[in-house]
Amino acid sequence: MKKFGTEKYIANLSIDCVIFGYENKELKVLIAKKKIGEGIWNLPGGYILKTESIENAANRILKERINLENIYLEQFRVFGNENRIIKSKFRELLLPYITQKYNEEDAEWITNRFVCIGFYALVEISKVNPQVGELDECVEWRSIKDIPEMIHDHNEILIYALEALRQDLDQKLIGFNLLPETFTMKELHALYEAVYDREFAMNNFQKKILDLNVLERLEKKFTGAQNKAPYLYKFKK
């Protein structure tokens, strides 16, 4: 029976990552299905080495899970309920399974109470190469409207991440991280509607965005008749 190596990590402190992507006019989240139980899902996460910062730990965890570097990453909340994990209904399922892989001391460490630092990341789905974790059966992109029940408080973490994304989308203008380098106004409009889960009048939306002076207009996108083609935009550096 192998050791987990708990001595390398800060005890009772973890990171969970909400990885947002955008595809086919839908905001999506990358989640993992556990090998144990029937349909047990979770957000990607991990632990913090004693030799690294919290930000470096989050970037390392993301590199291990989606094989990407230099992506947009934002810390949004800390989750520290006194009953977190230890009173979760999923702990009794996880503990026996983990005990089969690691020694009893390590299994207790893994399923103990952890204060979680929540990060969200924004990625282009086409660039992501999801990696299956040691305890995962598979990983999937799921629509924000089709998220199953997840372990512990992961559904709550997702709710707060989405609230933070909506606030930052307007205040920090980070939407370009979910889009290709160039896009049409219609594509940007569809992204905002997907993130906020509501409709925006196109004329008002376009005026608001252009008034911000953050977009650079490029050549028209050829879709047939040149005079009917939409303009391409990209965010200014």
Domain coordinates in residue numbering, the chain: 6-172, 179-235
Q: Which of 75, 172, 179, 74 is nearest to 127 (CA)?
A: 179
Q: Per-residue confidence at 19, pLDDT binned at 50, 70, 90?
A: very high
Q: How far apart are the first and last CA of the chain?
A: 52
Distance CA 72, CA 108 (A): 34
Overall average pLDDT of the 17-25 stretch: 97
Checking if the pLDDT of 228 tops 80, the result is no
Checking if the pLDDT of 226 tops 70, the result is no
Q: Per-residue confidence at 74, pLDDT binned at 50, 70, 90?
A: very high
The string of DSSP codes covering 186-228 is HHHHHHHHHHHTS---HHHHHHHHHHTT-EEEEEEPPSSSGGG
Q: Per-residue confidence at 220, pLDDT binned at 50, 70, 90?
A: low
Cα–Cα distances (Å) from 229 to 6, 19, 185, 223, in that order, read: 58, 33, 12, 5
Overall average pLDDT of the 26-39 stretch: 89
Checking if the pLDDT of 222 tops 80, the result is no
Percentage of the chain beyond pLDDT 70 is 95
Q: Per-residue confidence at 92, pLDDT binned at 50, 70, 90?
A: confident
Distance CA 103, CA 106 (A): 5
Checking if the pLDDT of 34 tops 60, the result is yes
Residue 36, SS3?
A: coil
Same fold, 6-172 and 179-235: no
Distance CA 168, CA 174 (A): 7
Overall average pLDDT of the 225-230 stretch: 65
Continuous H helices in the chain: 54-66, 91-101, 104-110, 154-171, 185-196, 202-211
> In 3-state terms, the chain is what percent helix, strand and coil (to 5)?
35, 30, 35
Q: What is the mean pLDDT of the chain?
A: 91
Choose the weakest-confidence range: 28-37, 143-152, 182-191: 28-37
For residue 119, with 0-12 CB atoms within 10 Å meaning exposed, 13-18 middle and 19 or more buried, which class applies? buried
- Which CATH code fits 6-172? 3.90.79.10
Distance CA 157, CA 29 (A): 12
Task: Give, in words, the CATH class of 179-235.
Answer: mainly alpha
* Residue 18, beta-bridge partner list: 120
Q: Which of 145, 144, 138, 161 is nearest to 18 (CA)?
A: 161
